[in-house]
Amino acid sequence: MPVFYGTEVASPLMLGTAQYPSPAILAEAFRASGAGIATVSLRREAGGGQDFLRLVESLGARLLPNTAGCHSAREAVTTAQMARELLGTDWIKLEVIGHADLLAPDVFQLVEAARTLSADGFKVFPYCTEDLSVCERLLDAGCEVLMPWGAPIGSGLGLGNPHGLRALRAAFPDVPLVVDAGIGLPSHAAAAMEMGFDAVLLNTAVARAGDPVAMARAMAQAVEAGRAAHGADPMEPREMAVPSTPVIGKAFLA
């Protein structure tokens, strides 16, 4: 199972807590998913925060607060400081958004915020692109986990750049890697795990499914299948057919 900053989590599935039809379905989806980590945001308290806090603390998953919606390193750092105090965790999913339509990471501000937070004792989970030099800089900044996107947040498009993700896996064999964002189907989650990713983080694919609980279960099965397949050392694909049935011994009937 994945190990992040020395802590082993119970499942390679990390699940968000937004957009569910109801709190009860959220809780049931988490039970069905077996997710080891639940992401939460920080938002202005307008009366609902206290009940929500009790709900997420009852899920049995470790909480990973995010800095969603932050557009500068400064905002993200302040949000992380507030999250650490509120939730009593130094884990932070660091998002610094650079492009409004694609919710693409601002990788420059991201590296700056990661450096500041790591120096302040945070364990940073950066939402990043699969760019090798950006990822290298994040590791230099103190990150011990990388979370490249599969596709834009909430798009459900799957793994847009499988070659880039494979290259990242090969470049950093010892760094825990998570595909964060863009997963829409269990097959996308399984594909990430088959590549050797340590975990996947998704939210909309489950929360916005017609039956979130059934989809949560399907995602759990997919990550497990993908993880087992990676461990089983898959065959190399090839361009031409090779008979699987032995040719020798075939009766001569022509």
Partner 1 sequence: MKLTINGEPRDVDAATVAEALAALGMADARVATALNGNFVAATLRGAARLSPGDALEIVAPMQGG
Report which residue type is found at 117: L
Footprint on residues 145-164 left by partner 1 (CB under 8 A)? 153-154
Is residue 60 a contact point for partner 1 (CB under 8 A)? Answer: no
In the complex, what is the shortest distance from the CB of residue 18 to partner 1, in angstroms, rounded to a whole number?
4
Instruction: Tell me if 150 sits within 8 A of 160, measured CB to CB.
Output: yes
Is residue 22 a contact point for partner 1 (CB under 8 A)? Answer: no
Q: Which residues contact 133 (CB under 8 A, 6 or more apart)?
A: none
Cα dihedral 43, 45, 47, 52 sign: positive
In the complex, what is the shortest distance from the CB of residue 44 to partner 1, in angstroms, rounded to a whole number?
4
Q: Which listed residue (30, 34, 37, 66) binds partner 1 by CB under 8 A?
A: 66
Is residue 86 a contact point for partner 1 (CB under 8 A)? Answer: yes
**Residue of 20, 92, 93, 193 with catalytic role:** 93
Size of residue set near partner 1 by CB under 8 A: 38
Q: Which residues contact 87 (CB under 8 A, 6 or more apart)?
A: 40, 63, 65
Measured CA to CA, the distance from residue 2 to residue 201 in angstroms comes to 12
According to DSSP, residue 8 is labeled E
Residues that bind partner 1 (CB under 8 A): 16-20, 39-46, 48-50, 52-53, 56, 63, 65-66, 68, 74-75, 78, 81-83, 85-87, 153-154, 181, 201, 203-204
Active site members: 93
